């Protein structure tokens, strides 16, 4: 199956700083990638759809100025959590589709202290 | 709007027995796909099985089968011959081919007892 990678796998940052998470499709091109957020013992919640070459589409209630998404190429989407606060601590997972199915990255665990 | 419902927060099954995890969904779309994923404690999402809305046969993948009842809008996952390694969170998900994004149910935590 297709492979999606994420970097970093874990990150700890201080309140007020920004953190960038990268999502790459390793062996296929993805015009669309999806960003999810998962709180402990909860389900995955779709945050936004990242579109190559155009603006991301955010779900209702997700602050686009706080969660900046850039889909600069067909294999890379980035999520930047700006001015992070402890309540942004969560597990962030990206995903991309192929005609065969939907594949997920291994996730990034963000802890804001 | 799509809605995925998993009514079992937790399930227990004895090793080597079969277990059914429930999933119902609601959509007005005609073309959609139903997925089941396993999420162990490591956090990775492991794809298990897929059922297309137009597929007439129930999907099967090894020990996993999907009991698809379109009229009832249900897509239950059946795991046969449970193994200790099956203990994990299981998520039902749906993707509409109109907007292509995937939505998840709340999940069911399965525990396999030795």
Q: Quote the pLDDT of residue B93.
A: 96
- Residue B101: half-sphere exposure toward Cβ, Cα within 13 Å: 23
Please say whether the dihedral angle defined by the alpha carbons of residues A34, A77, A92 and B79, taken in this order, is positive or negative: positive
Name the percent of chain A lying above pLDDT 90: 83
**Tens digit of each residue's pLDDT (9 = 90 or more) over B13-71:** 999 999 999 999 999 888 999 999 999 999 999 999 999 999 989 999 999 999 999 99
CB B44 to CB A106 under 8 A? yes
Tokens of B20: 């059914």
| Residues A50-60: tens digit of each pLDDT | 988 889 999 99
Contact B2, B96 (CB under 8 A): yes
Considering only A15-19, A95-99, B9-13, B64-68, which range has the smallest mean pLDDT?
A95-99
CA distance B55 to chain A (A): 15
Q: Report the pLDDT value the prediction gives residue B98, as an integer from 0 to 100.
A: 77
* Region for B62 from its dihedrals, namely left if φ exceeds 0, alpha if ψ lies in -120 to 50, beta otherwise: left
Contacts of B106 in chain A (CB under 8 A): 42-43
Structure tokens at A14: 């201080």
Q: What is the mean pLDDT of chain A?
A: 94
Tell me which of A41, A102, A110 to substitute to probe the interface with B (most B C-beta atoms closer than 10 Å).
A102
Q: Which residues of A touch B (CB under 8 A)?
A: 1, 32, 34, 38, 42-46, 49, 91, 93, 95, 97, 101-104, 106-107, 109
| Interval A21-37 mean pLDDT | 94
């Amino acid at each position: 199956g297709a492979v999606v990678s994420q970097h970093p796998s874990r990150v700890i940052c201080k309140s007020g700083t920004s953190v960038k998470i990268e999502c790459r499709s390793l062996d296929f091109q993805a015009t669309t990638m999806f960003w999810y957020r998962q709180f402990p013992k909860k389900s995955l919640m779709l945050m936004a759809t990242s579109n190559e070459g155009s603006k991301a589409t955010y779900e209702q209630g997700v602050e686009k100025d706080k969660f900046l998404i850039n889909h600069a190429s067909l294999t890379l989407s980035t999520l930047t959590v700006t001015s992070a606060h402890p309540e942004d601590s969560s597990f962030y997972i990206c995903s991309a589709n192929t005609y065969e199915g939907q594949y997920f990255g291994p996730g990034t665990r963000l802890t804001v202290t | 709007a799509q809605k995925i419902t998993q009514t079992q927060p937790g399930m227990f099954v004895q090793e080597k027995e079969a277990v059914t995890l429930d999933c119902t969904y609601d959509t007005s779309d005609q073309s959609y796909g139903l997925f089941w994923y396993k999420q162990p404690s490591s956090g990775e999402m492991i794809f298990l099985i897929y059922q297309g809305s137009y597929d007439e046969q129930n999907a099967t993948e090894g020990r996993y089968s999907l009991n698809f009842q379109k009229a009832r809008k249900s897509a239950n996952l059946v795991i046969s011959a449970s193994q200790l390694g099956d203990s994990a969170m299981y998520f039902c998900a749906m993707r509409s081919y109109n907007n292509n994004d995937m939505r998840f149910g709340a999940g069911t935590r399965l525990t396999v007892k030795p």
